[in-house]
Chains A and B, each alone.
Chain A
Amino acid sequence: MAPFVPLFSKEKIMASKAFVTFRKKMDWRTLVLFLPGFAFLALFTFYPIIKTAVMSFTDWHIGENQASPWVGFQNYVSVFRDPIANIALENTFFYLLITVPGQIILGLAVALLLNKITKGSVFLRLVYYLPVVTSWVVVALLFRYIFNTDGLFNYLLKDVLHLTSEKVAWLSTRYRSLFAATLLGIWKGVGWNMVMFLAALQAVPKDYYEAASVDGANSWQKLIHITLPSIRGTLVFALVMLTIGAFNTYTPIAILTGGNPYHQTEVVLTWMDFQAFSAFEMGYAAALSMILTLLIMIITLAMIRVIGRKEK
């Protein structure tokens, strides 16, 4: 980066009254800029977080006249004893453990390949990114249609590739449905990863590779010793964002299976939504939210700690 040439000498700035005022003392104008935005976030996000925490310890009723008695850890006990909640947590982890590495590996692979070519790379990038901008609702409906028993996927398996002799009822059992959901998640997410990794790859200095070639390194060694360490920051960022995203999964499941059959394919957020708005168990839903939030925080912070800081 080019060094910035200051408009004024350091001494002149230090001596100026304005500098002292704005650096060391609070200006009332700061509050004018800060408070409206802060109040907005406080009302619509900080308050609901605190309220969720409080509600998770009560048997909450939404009406103003209804009592919401304090029940201690009862809701948490119910969540942990609830077999469906456990299934929902397992399914969320299943989805996360397949889609996050899947998206990163495929996205990185596409980025590496695109980085090698020049002709047509703009077009390819455009098309690979299309699923990312297409709404979740639309692509989930599309996959529901494709994974129908009479759908395109079975046709490919049975009649084109002859991998099965019978049509498979993809959306009728737990793991088959989750398989379809993870395929959808990967399909939709590869483009996002590609764009991130491509930008990171383009920032790696070319002479690193030239030096490695002189030393006789092969492509695999270059990938392991130059490329991956150079794009580490982006890898960690993608890992954290995708993990948060996987815990956030709602629409693909809500549309692909709606949690069916018998809630076997629920993820945490669909099950929470069901508890809150179909079963009206608000306290239970709040406890489930708190558990999910804590899980996300612990896992993402651990990731940043363990992987993100290693390079220093």
Chain B
Amino acid sequence: MQTRKYRQNQADPGKITSYILLSLGLLFVIVPMYYMIISAFKDNASTFAYPPVVFPAINTLTIANFSYVLTRTSFFTYLGNTVFVATMTVLISTVVSSTLAYVFARLYLPGKNIIFWMVLAVMMVPGLALIVPQFELAVRFHLVNNLWGVILFYAAWVTPFSTYLLKGYIEDNIPRELDESMFIDGGSIFTVYRSIIIPLTSPAIASTAIFNFLFPFEELGWSTAILKSDKIRTLPVAITMFYQAHGQTDWGYVFAMSVMAVLPVLLVYLLLQRYFVSGLTSGAIKS
């Protein structure tokens, strides 16, 4: 007991090495991030200076880039569009994936295994690989240049993986006897879905919802094809367009907009961290 306590107080060489290596890695992660933030506060001329100024003096920093982005672009419109698309994507994909997951995990339906395999196969197909017929669908339903043109397709792209995760979660974490006791009490499938599956799956639903919420903050290819006019652009498209207009001259503007676009996502991440981990790992450990 005594020696053990003593040894714990001593600096363990293995631990020191760990800290050194982890700090080196941290530098690799942090430097680009830091450089982006600092560049957002530089005036545009000095973003092109060589050698680049890594530690600029405080008095050379300016918030002009931020005020330019806030006053001269529709930043809040882009942000609002992205949040709207994200919210609708989450709502649709949650309803679709939770109902399908319940059916696949529990209910009797002829051929459901084949359909589940089809859903898994869709997981492997890159959303962008289907861009041509999907664009045709969007044209036919008048969804081009319409936020619903990204919402419906995003929801469809993210649903297979969510379904797979939720099905696994239901199978592993909700005892069948719980459903069956509900049936014995006279409940129907709907009652079970509403008062057992949804409440007990909520941790997994929360994780998939967060990941699906972040998807519209990432996706560029499809949104560029669909969202043509400025007022309906989501942030990825808006930043790319803004970059194409200003990238040769005004990196400060580009990074000011980027930093502002990243902030809401970071906020979501910091507030809801634990769901990120549980959502990721519930899928991994299963397989």
A residues engaging B (CB < 8 A)? 4, 6-8, 12-13, 16, 18-19, 21-27, 29-34, 36-38, 40-41, 43-49, 51-52, 55, 60, 62, 106, 109-110, 113-114, 116-117, 120, 124, 126-131, 133-139, 141-146, 150-152, 155, 159, 187, 190-192, 195-196, 199-200, 203, 233-234, 236-238, 244, 247-248, 250-251, 254-255, 269, 272-273, 276-277, 282, 285-286, 289, 292-293, 296-297, 300, 308
Contact = CB atoms under 8 A, between A and B. Distances in A.
A237 B129 contact: no
* A interface SS class: helix
Nearest to A196: B284
B58 to A, nearest CB: 20
Contacts of A238: 284
A13 B180 contact: yes
Contacts of B247: 141, 144
Contacts of A37: 95-97, 99-100, 159
11 contacts: A16-B180, A16-B184, A18-B186, A34-B99, A44-B134, A117-B22, A138-B262, A143-B32, A145-B251, A285-B131, A289-B129
B156 A8 contact: no
Contact of A196 (B107, B133, B243, B281): B281
A128 B25 contact: yes
Interface of B: 14-15, 18-19, 21-22, 25-26, 28-33, 35-36, 39, 47-52, 54, 92, 95-97, 99-100, 102-103, 107-110, 112, 115, 118-119, 121-137, 139, 152-153, 155-157, 159-160, 175, 177-181, 183-184, 186, 188-190, 193, 214, 217-218, 220-221, 225, 235-236, 239-240, 243, 247, 251, 254-255, 258, 261-262, 265-266, 268-270, 273, 276-277, 280-281, 283-285, 287
A151 B251 CA distance: 12
A195 B48 CA distance: 37
Find the residue from B28, B31, B39, B47 having the highest chain A CB count within 10 A: B28
Contact of A19 (B31, B180, B287): B180
Contact of B52 (A16, A41, A124, A152): A152
Label chain B's interface by main secondary structure: helix
Contacts, number: 318
Contacts of B243: 141, 255
Contact of B99 (A36, A47, A110, A254): A36
Contacts of A47: 133, 137
A75 B97 CA distance: 36
Nearest to B48: A150
B183 A129 contact: no
A234 B285 contact: yes
A60 B32 contact: no
A127 B276 contact: no
A30 B184 contact: no
Given A141-B258, A296-B125, A127 B239 contact: no
B23 to A, nearest CB: 9
A44 B152 contact: yes
B132 A116 contact: no
A113 B126 contact: no
Contacts of B35: 142, 146, 152
The 6 closest A-B pairs by CB, nearest first: A44-B156, A51-B133, A18-B183, A199-B281, A37-B96, A48-B130
Contacts of A190: 25, 29
Given A159-B51, A200-B285, A237-B283, A255 B130 contact: no
A27 B108 CA distance: 8
